[in-house]
Amino acid sequence: MAVHAPENILHQHSFDIEGGNFTNAGTVSTRIKSILKQIGLPDNVVRKSAIVCYESEINIVSYARKGVINLIVTPKTVEIEAIDEGPGIPNIELAMQQGYSTANQHIREMGFGAGMGLHNIKCFSDKFDISSEVDKGTFLKMIINTP
């Protein structure tokens, strides 16, 4: 998790995510949204955070064995990390392209797999980092600035 001086952390929480569990898919982003609203952050910050969290969460459920989403709120930022154990992404540049998806039939039937997730995560983040190792897992870090 990101290193911050304790006095600079307004809120911190980790959420576990189970790969393949589409019944619960979306619950972490819903919880993060209500936490951020409760803290009193502006609507656009809450909305962007919820979108990047949701897309990361759906990707962990869709592609990974398991993962964790870390939320860290500081006076100037909302930081969201999505870390999973799974197949990893062999070609990140390709995966980032709009419309690129390896989602299977099962995932598509549930309405996912449009290939816009990573692209939208990047668009809605003020800072975005991604790294991945094949057969190990994927690490995403999104930072959204607060006014």
Ligand X SMILES: Nc1ncnc2c1ncn2[C@@H]1O[C@H](COP(=O)(O)OP(=O)(O)O)[C@@H](O)[C@H]1O
Q: For binding to ligand X (CB under 6 A), which residues are involved?
A: 55, 59-60, 62-64, 84, 86-89, 95, 100-103, 112-119, 138
Residues 28-87 within binding reach of Mg ion (CB under 5 A): 59
Q: Closest distance between Mg ion and the C-beta of residue 61, in Å?
A: 9
Q: Which option in Mg ion, ligand X, none does residue 50 bind, with CB closer than 5 to 8 A by kind?
A: none
- From residue 32, alpha-carbon distances to 9, 28, 93, 119 in Å are 15, 6, 28, 21
Q: Closest distance between ligand X and the C-beta of residue 66, in Å?
A: 11
Q: Closest distance between ligand X and the C-beta of residue 39, in Å?
A: 27
Token pair belonging to 24:
């619960």
Q: Which option in Mg ion, ligand X, none does residue 124 bind, with CB closer than 5 to 8 A by kind?
A: none
Q: Which residues, other chains included, contact 66 with Cβ-Cβ below 8 Å and sequence gap of 6+?
A: 16, 17, 18, 19, 60, 84, 85, 86
Q: Which residues, other chains included, contact 72 with Cβ-Cβ below 8 Å and sequence gap of 6+?
A: 1, 2, 4, 9, 11, 12, 78, 79, 80, 81
Q: Closest distance between Mg ion and the C-beta of residue 130, in Å?
A: 13
Choose between 8 and 133: whose C-beta lies nearer to ligand X: 133
